[in-house]
A and B are shown apart, each in its own frame.
Chain A
Amino acid sequence: MLTLLRVEMMKVRKSAILKLCAVGALCAPLLNWVIALNMQQQQGTSVTFTFYMEQSNLFIAMIIGTLLYGLFTTYVFEREFSEDMMKHLLTVPVTRMHLFISKLMVVALGLMALTLTAFLGGLLLSVVSGFSGITVNTVLQAGLQYVKAWAVFLPLMLPVVLITVVFRNFVAPIAFSIIAEIILFVVMQSQYIALYPWAAPILTGTNILTDAFLEPGTMVGTPSINLVILAGFSLTTLLLSVVYMKTQDLT
């Protein structure tokens, strides 16, 4: 299993996808840095580190995370199909479940690397720009928010995995991610936002509650209910993926 993980890591490291996604992940701190500098200039007040990092995290949770992480996940799971490698791996023999689990682990590590890239990028720009309120405590608080967002993005990748292994191409999972993103924009200002799994990175992963988008107290459900829905949805897709991987001809 460790060997398989090592091999999977090597394959990702040698590809351009991680670098490409890292550039995408850096968009969040970079764009928000431009906005923050603009705000400083217009309002004449210093932007706080906490506010800047929250905004960057929200940018990932709401706008780029689903697509960026979906792209990375698709790459990891689709590669063996597009390179016609599945039959060669399975006759080594590598068991389907070991392959599946090792790829999930690579996705988790890859998403962590991308989250870390965004976080460190934001921290670096904050220090360079002299944003106020940079203390060990605020850095740790911001770090925790990024970790929370990462943690809820992971189960959201399971439907992407299912679609990738079933359709065995890039188009279907990326289209799915785009649709999930569009629906998120639609439900964003709806009272039912907590019922939508893709709202989890916002509701759980950021400090910016729906009050920013909704009238206070109008939201149906709570972030906890949202997590329960996310767990149920993700576990179902995980189960379906496992059944598919175990029973279908993958070559």
Chain B
Amino acid sequence: MKALTTESLTKKYGKKEVVRSLNLQLEEGEIYGFLGNNGAGKTTTMKMIVGLTPVTSGQIHLFGEPQCISQHLKKVGTTIEAPGFYGNLTAEENLWVFMRLHGLSNTSKIDELLQMGGLNEVRHQKVNTFSMGMKQRLAIVRALMHDPELLILDEPINGLDPNGILETRELLLRLKAERGVTMMISSHILPEVEQLVDRIGIVHQGALLEETDMATFRKKRLKRLEIQVDQPDEAVRILQEKWGINARQNQRGGLFINDVTHPSARINQSLVESGIGVSRLWQQEQSMEDYFMSLTNGRGRAC
């Protein structure tokens, strides 16, 4: 069963269409990376899914049924945009507020969540003294308060230090492995998303450009050969003459070849035999950022 599907989901603010006929599908138990520029419509889409913003047109199905907020939000945990808390309340009190609102009374759940978020030692500290990373972790564990089946996390690793990113990634992967929680995660830290998600959806100007699983994505990404040589101009000429390869020079005096069908060892050998000094030769995979940039025609500075 699909945890979430959207059909022709559209949102307009006045005449401006911020989400355009979006069709998403989240399988149960998967982590879905939702990528896009600032203003691409990620947060608006998430807000529509959790009922914070009315849908202009289209449909949302949660757990195979048409969206019914009062019913479905019992199974959905969210952090949308910045993690908001009552600043003058402690971490424990903030969780208590949400525990009561969820109709839960077992206070040991708070201990468990604080432990899970690595916040046990600061449980009596007011949240307005917390760093962004601590707030993010508290927001994630707050979203887990009612043991949701689907987590909608908007930029959950934004503002985290490397340790925080690592801890959050481990936490999310553990949730997936141990509880089978389905997650939809938007993030601008693309390498982190890459290490976390099973599938990605790339949205640009409100429309879905691509939706693919990570295995396919890895295959699709361009690979290229980079060569560091002492005579780049001569090397370009030799590669053209001997292999028919159109090598290009980069700004650091090296070369790169997009056609990786030729064996790199043979290319190296022919360059050395022609008197070219080769100091480095390696095959590089297009990064997620590069792939994203190529899809959005270079307008994808930050997601």
Residues of A near B79 (CB, < 8 A) are: 88
Q: Is residue B100 within 8 Å, beta carbon to beta carbon, of the partner chain?
A: yes
Q: Is residue B130 within 8 Å, beta carbon to beta carbon, of the partner chain?
A: no
Q: B27-61: contact bitstring with A at CB < 8 Å (1 yes, 0 no)?
A: 00000000000000000000100111110000000
Stretch at the interface among A52-60, A90-98, A163-171, A233-241: A90-98
How far is A111 from B64 in the complex, measured between Cα atoms in Å? 47
Stretch at the interface among B87-95, B106-114, B166-174: B87-95
Name 7 interchain pairs, CB-CB below 8 A, sorted by A: A4-B101, A10-B93, A85-B85, A86-B84, A87-B81, A91-B76, A93-B70
How far is A86 from B82 in the complex, measured between Cα atoms in Å? 12
Q: A75-107: contact bitstring with B at CB < 8 Å (1 yes, 0 no)?
A: 000010001111111111111000000000000
Given contacts A83-B84, A85-B85, A251-B81, could you give 10 more A-B pairs where the C-beta distance is less than 8 Å? A84-B81, A87-B47, A87-B52, A90-B51, A90-B52, A91-B51, A93-B51, A95-B70, A251-B47, A251-B52
Chain A, interface size: which category?
20 to 34
Q: Is residue A6 within 8 Å, beta carbon to beta carbon, of the partner chain?
A: yes
Residues of A near B271 (CB, < 8 A) are: none
How far is A4 from B81 in the complex, measured between Cα atoms in Å? 24
Candidates B69, B87, B100; contact of A93 at CB < 8 Å: B69
Candidates A14, A15, A16, A91; contact of B50 at CB < 8 Å: A91
* Smallest CB separation, B244 vs chain A (Å): 58
How far is A96 from B211 in the complex, measured between Cα atoms in Å? 35
Q: Is residue B243 within 8 Å, beta carbon to beta carbon, of the partner chain?
A: no
Candidates A14, A92, A251; contact of B89 at CB < 8 Å: A14
How far is A94 from B85 in the complex, measured between Cα atoms in Å? 16
* Smallest CB separation, B117 vs chain A (Å): 16
Tell me which residues from 175 to 234 in chain B have a Cβ below 8 Å from any Cβ of chain A: none
**Given A249-B53, A251-B47, residue A92 in contact with residue B85 (CB < 8 A):** no
* Smallest CB separation, A106 vs chain B (Å): 14
Candidates A11, A14, A79, A249; contact of B52 at CB < 8 Å: A249
A14 lies within 8 A of B51 (CB):
no
Tell me which residues from 259 to 283 in chain B have a Cβ below 8 Å from any Cβ of chain A: none
Q: Is residue A214 within 8 Å, beta carbon to beta carbon, of the partner chain?
A: no
Chain B interface (Cβ < 8 Å from any Cβ of A): 47, 50-54, 69-70, 73-74, 76, 78-82, 84-89, 93, 97-98, 100-103, 142
How far is A198 from B155 in the complex, measured between Cα atoms in Å? 47
**Given A3-B103, A249-B52, A249-B53, residue A88 in contact with residue B84 (CB < 8 A):** yes
A92 lies within 8 A of B101 (CB):
yes
Residues of A near B70 (CB, < 8 A) are: 93, 95
Candidates B76, B82, B142; contact of A84 at CB < 8 Å: B82
How far is A250 from B50 in the complex, measured between Cα atoms in Å? 13
B47 lies within 8 A of A92 (CB):
no
4 closest A-B pairs by beta carbon, nearest first, are: A84-B84, A93-B73, A85-B84, A91-B78
B100 lies within 8 A of A3 (CB):
yes
B87 lies within 8 A of A92 (CB):
no
Residues of A near B74 (CB, < 8 A) are: 93
A92 lies within 8 A of B98 (CB):
yes
Chain A residue nearest to B142 (CB atoms) is: A88
Residues of A near B86 (CB, < 8 A) are: 11, 14, 79, 83, 85
* Smallest CB separation, B160 vs chain A (Å): 18
**Given A87-B47, A249-B53, A251-B47, residue A15 in contact with residue B88 (CB < 8 A):** yes
**Given A249-B54, A251-B47, residue A87 in contact with residue B80 (CB < 8 A):** yes
Chain B residue nearest to A89 (CB atoms) is: B101
Chain A residue nearest to B105 (CB atoms) is: A3
Q: Is residue A220 within 8 Å, beta carbon to beta carbon, of the partner chain?
A: no
Residues of A near B69 (CB, < 8 A) are: 93
How far is A15 from B87 in the complex, measured between Cα atoms in Å? 10
* Smallest CB separation, B129 vs chain A (Å): 15
B52 lies within 8 A of A91 (CB):
yes
Residues of B near A228 (CB, < 8 A) are: none
A10 lies within 8 A of B97 (CB):
yes
Q: Is residue A209 within 8 Å, beta carbon to beta carbon, of the partner chain?
A: no
How far is A85 from B86 in the complex, measured between Cα atoms in Å? 8
How far is A16 from B86 in the complex, measured between Cα atoms in Å? 13
Identify the interface centre among A14, A83, A89, A91: most chain B CB within 10 Å of its CB.
A91
Chain B residue nearest to A248 (CB atoms) is: B54
* Smallest CB separation, B47 vs chain A (Å): 7
Q: Is residue A109 within 8 Å, beta carbon to beta carbon, of the partner chain?
A: no
How far is A6 from B73 in the complex, measured between Cα atoms in Å? 22
How far is A147 from B53 in the complex, measured between Cα atoms in Å? 41
* Smallest CB separation, A243 vs chain B (Å): 14
